[in-house]
Amino acid sequence: MVVLITGISSGFGLETARLLSQEGHIVYGTVRREVEPIPGVHYLRVDVRDREAVKSTVQQVFDKEGRIDVLVNNAGMGIGGPVEFATEEEIREQMDTNFMGLVHFVTAVLPVMRNQGAGKIIALSSIGGVMGLPFQGFYSASKFAIEGYCEALRLEIQQFGIQVVVVRPGDFSTSFTASRKKTVNTKAMQAYKTYAESIGKVEHDETSGLKPQVLARKISQIIRKKHPHLGYVVASFEQRLSVLLKRTLPARWFGKILGSYYKL
């Protein structure tokens, strides 16, 4: 299969590109900077926030291969801090990268998949896309946006034989933790005295989380499945349980549980 993956410079994207290439797929992956190349993977330099550059990149793949079977929307970033103190620039970067970047690629790939009468779109959301994570509010907002977009998209394009699968990772040990942008605003630290402890807990949970190869194997399985589920939670037992509780408990009860976990 011809697979296009966004954001393969590290973490999920890197390991997914490596595994799928080893399995014999034709893999194209996007990066924004020079990286150590994976043998057999075709690299594409593009910023997912640039709509026209994305269209050109997708056209490159189609011109070379004549089809695109799978799109894995992985590119993303995170901003930590009280939502009150997030700057306009930070909010736009968060939403433009995580949400609009995905929209740009889906919009560019859809004509190809419609014409070939088949395709699979895999969107990486997060458990933060089904529950609002404190001090990661705009990250959660970007993932909630992906959830709603994919739900509508799935209904619109099922008539063309195109599948949409949402993958919701929990805590994973990747470079995402180190690259997260965090507010160092003194006023924010003084006003929200629990912020430092909460974000420290987040980082501890992530660095001791699952390895990205686990998610890569799940994406490989989804690609091979003729009829995959609409969504998957890839996380520890406790985090999978939290998603279940979010769906079943009254909102106030779940809010108390989540707040207690983050010592709020």
Choice among 9, 21, 126, 198 that is catalytic = 9
Choice among 21, 28, 120, 125 that is catalytic = 125
**Has 208 been annotated as catalytic?**
no
How many residues comprise the chain?
264
Residues 6+ apart with CB under 8 A from 179: 77, 78
**Has 236 been annotated as catalytic?**
no
DSSP code for 129 = G
DSSP code for 37 = P
| Unique residue bearing structure tokens 């395709």 | 119
Choice among 28, 126, 140, 143 that is catalytic = 143
**Has 10 been annotated as catalytic?**
no
**Has 125 been annotated as catalytic?**
yes
Radius of gyration of the chain (CA): 18
| Unique residue bearing structure tokens 């009468």 | 117
Residues 6+ apart with CB under 8 A from 245: 254, 257
Choice among 120, 126, 139, 192 that is catalytic = 139
Q: What is the 3-state secondary structure (H, E, C) of 44-58?
A: EECCCCCHHHHHHHH
Residues labelled as active-site residues? 9, 125, 139, 143
